[in-house]
Amino acid sequence: MKIDETNFVKQIKTRNTDALDYVVDNYSNLVFKVIHRVLNLGFKIQDVEECANDVFWSVWTNIDSFDEERGKFKSWICAIAKYKAVDYRRKLYKQSTEECIEDYVFCDQAGIENLIISKENGKEILQAINEMKDEDREIFIRRYFLSEGIENIAKFFGVNRNLVDQRLSRGRRFLKERLMILKGDLL
Amino acid sequence: MMKDEHFNLDEKDIFKLLNQVNINESEFNDMDDEVQKIQKERIKKNMKKRIKSESIDTKTRIRNKVIRYSCAAAITGVVCLAGAATAFPAFAKNIPILNSIIQSFNSEYGDHGDYTKYSELINKSVTDNGITISINEALADDSELVIGYTITSSKSIKGQVMPDLLSDMKVNGKSEDAYGSSGGKYLNDCTYVGLDSISTDQIHDLNNFNVDLKINDISKELPGEWNFAFSVSKEDLIKNSTIIYPNTKIDFPDSVVNFDKLMKSPLGITIYISGNYKDKGKQSHFGIFDYNNWLAFDDKGVELYPKSIGGGTSNINKQPNFKSQMSFANLSDDSKYVTIIPYKVVPSEMGSAEMDKDGNEKVTTIEGVEEIDTEKTIDGNIRLVSPIQLPQGKMGKLFIKDIFTKDNVTTVKYTAEGIAPLTQGNALRILDDKGNSVKLVDQDIRKDATKPNEFTMRLAALDPNKKYTLHTTTFNNYEVRDDLKLTIRLTK
C-alpha cells in the first residue's frame, strides 16, 4: 500500500516499516534543523545524525504517545527532536548530573517548606502536570523538559518575560500543592 | 524504559506531554539544512537493523564507532573537572578563584593555551534564596564569549543544577541565541563550578561586549533571580594575535576550498575557509565538504590538538556554497608555519546520490567500510615485561610501555609512532569484560609538551581479578590525503 500523510501514523502503529521510511523521508530536514539549532556549530555531522537516529527510533517505539486528536505530528516530532538534542548535548559534555537522581527536593520561594518526591511518584507528577492550566503547562514543559530560556519562551508566545516567570512560578506552586494533596503522609 | 533525569518520568510519558508543545516549523526557516538523500537512506537502514535486532532479541553490542575525543566544541573543549584538585571551602559568599575555571576546563582536555592570562576577572556575586551565583571570569575571542561561574549554597545542591544557565543573555543590547557549549562539575555537595559559552560571530567589528545576564531559576529545585551586568573585551587577545590571509586553496575531488583567513592567537590557530562544490548535484556524503577533517602539525612536525574541526554551514544556492572553521591549540608560540593534512572517515555504510539532467535523484547504495580494530586481552593486574605493540594500520602503531594501578587509578604509559601520533594516542581504550570502555579519569593524554608523542592515560582502576581488552582502531576507514598537504606560514 502507498504510505501518505493520511495513513502513516496508523501504519507505524501496525509496525509497517514503510511508514517509518516515510517519516524519515519527509521529516529529516526539520529534525536535523532542530538538532542543529540545539547542538550549534561545534559538533560533528556524525553527532547530529546519531541524535536524529534516536529521534526516529523514539517515534517508532513511542508512537502510542502521540495524541492525534491533540496535536500535529510535525510539532510532536520537533519537540522530541529538541528534547533528544538537549539530552544529547548534556551527555556529550559529560555533564556531572549523569548520576541517577533518586530523590529531589522542591523548595518554595521562602525556602521554608521542603517537599520530598521519591521516584515512585512519577505517575502523580504526570497527572499533576496534566491538570495544570493549559498556558502554564506548555511553558512548564518547554522550560523544564526542553531547557528553553525564558527570553526565548517569551519571544515565542509574544509576551513579556515577567509573564513567563509568573506562569512558571504558578506552575511550580500548583505542582507542589497537587502533590501535597496526593501524598500528604510524606510530609 | 528510559527515565528522564529530573522528573523520573518514563520517556513515553514525557512524549505524551510533548503533544502539548506547539512548535512551529517557521521557527527554523532561517536555516538552510537540506538532508542529503544518502543520509536518509542510511538512517532508514539503521532503523531496519535496529527493528530486526529488537525483534530477534539478540544481544548486540552497539559500539560507538565515532572517536569522540576530538569532538571538543568550538574554541573551548568543555567537560567536567576531574576530581577537586583545588581546595574550595564548603560555603563562602565569594570564592576566590585560585585557578582559572576556563583554564581548568580546557587543560583537562589537553588544550594548555594560556586561558588564565586572557580571561578577565569579573568576580560579581549575587545571592537569592540562600544561593550565591558568582560570575568569576569571562573570555571573549574571535567567535565566542565564554563565562566561568560558581554556584554555592549552605544546603546541598547536588544534582540540582541544570545546564544552560546563561540562556538569557544580552550582548550589546541584543538577545543572543545562547546555544553554545556548556559544562560543569560539583566540587562538593554545596559547590558547583560551570562554564557556558555563546557564539558571537554575528556581532561584527566590535571588540567590547557589554553583557546583561538574567538568571531565572537555576532549576526547579533552585528557584530565584540573579542579575548581572559586566563588560568583556577581546582587545588584549586581538592585540596579541596575528591575522594572515593565506591566499591559497586546495583542489579536492568534489570541491575547491579557499583559505580565507588564518588567525594565530595566544589561544590557538583558527583557519577560516569557504568553498564551492564542483558538481552541485552531487554533494558530500561526509559532511559539509569532503575531507572536512584535518590533521595539523607545527613546524617541528608535532601534531596539534584539534579544538574544533569538521563543522560549518552549506547552501548550494549561496556563494560561496559553504563555510567552515578549523581550530587547533598552539603548541609553541614561535612556530613559523602550520601544516594541514586533510582526511575523511568513511562510515560503515554509504552510497551515492546523483542528479540526472531532469533533476531526478538517483540513489545507489554501496557498502561502506567496516571499522577494523586491534584488540589484545590483558589481566587487570598485568605487569608488563616488554612493551605491547598495537598496530594501527597505515597510520602507525602504539607501544604500551607500562600499566599500573595506584590509589584507585590505573595509569597507562604509552607512545605512538606514525602519521598522526596524537590522534593515534587518543584512539586507545580499555574495554571491560562486557565490552564497555573503562572510564577515563582525565582526557588529557599529553602530559609533557617536550615529549609530545609520549602519552599517559588515567582510568578508573582495573579490577585485578578480571580480564580487559586493550582496544584501538586500524584507521582502515580513514582516507588520509598526504598528497593534498598544505603548509601555511604563520609570520607576515
Which pLDDT does position A139 carry in this prediction?
Answer: 87
- Taking 60 as the threshold, does the pLDDT of residue B188 lie above it? yes
- Taking 70 as the threshold, does the pLDDT of residue B27 lie above it? yes
CA distance B464 to chain A (A): 25
User: Which of B43, B221, B222 is opposite residue A24, by nearest beta carbon?
Assistant: B43
Nearest CA in chain A to B20: A138
Backbone angle region of B487, left / alpha / beta, with phi > 0 → left and psi within -120 to 50 → alpha:
beta
Q: Write out pLDDT tens, residues B134-187.
A: 999 999 887 778 899 999 998 888 877 866 677 677 888 877 654 456 677 888
- Taking 60 as the threshold, does the pLDDT of residue B221 lie above it? yes
For residues B349 and B204, the model is more confident at: B204
Over residues B429-452, the mean pLDDT reads 88
Over residues B401-421, the mean pLDDT reads 95
Yes or no: say if B174 and B145 are a contact pair by the CB < 8 Å rule.
no
CA distance B316 to chain A (A): 15
Q: Which of B179, B258, B164, B172 is nearest to B207 (CA)?
A: B172
Q: Which chain A residues are closer than 8 Å to B162 by Cβ?
A: 97, 147
CA distance B168 to chain A (A): 6
Q: Which cell is B14 given?
A: 514525557
Contacts across the A-B interface (CB distance below 8 Å): 242
- Taking 50 as the threshold, does the pLDDT of residue A144 lie above it? yes
Contact yes or no for A151 and B167 at CB 8 A = yes
Over residues B70-87, the mean pLDDT reads 26
Nearest CA in chain B to A149: B167
Which pLDDT does position B265 carry in this prediction?
Answer: 87
Within 8 A by CB and 6+ apart from B296, the residues are: B269, B303, B304, B306, B326, B328, B338, B339, B340, B341
Q: What is the ipTM score, two decimals? A: 0.76
Over residues B411-430, the mean pLDDT reads 95
* Mutation choice for A interface testing from B10, B18, B154 by most A CBs within 10 A: B18
Which pLDDT does position B110 carry in this prediction?
Answer: 77
Q: Which chain A residues are closer than 8 Å to B326 by Cβ?
A: none
Whole-angstrom Cα distance, residue B474 to residue B454? Answer: 19
Over residues B226-255, the mean pLDDT reads 89
Yes or no: say if B329 and B265 are a contact pair by the CB < 8 Å rule.
no
Which pLDDT does position B55 carry in this prediction?
Answer: 62
Query: 3-class SS at B464?
Result: coil
Yes or no: say if B106 and B115 are a contact pair by the CB < 8 Å rule.
yes
Mean pLDDT of chain B: 78
Whole-angstrom Cα distance, residue B187 to residue A180? Answer: 33
pTM of the predicted model over 0.80: no
- Taking 90 as the threshold, does the pLDDT of residue A171 lie above it? no
In this prediction, what percent of chain B has a pLDDT beyond 70?
Answer: 76
Q: Write out pLDDT tens, residues B338-387.
A: 999 999 877 665 544 444 555 555 555 555 677 788 899 999 999 999 99
Q: Which chain B residues are closer than 8 Å to A88 by Cβ?
A: none
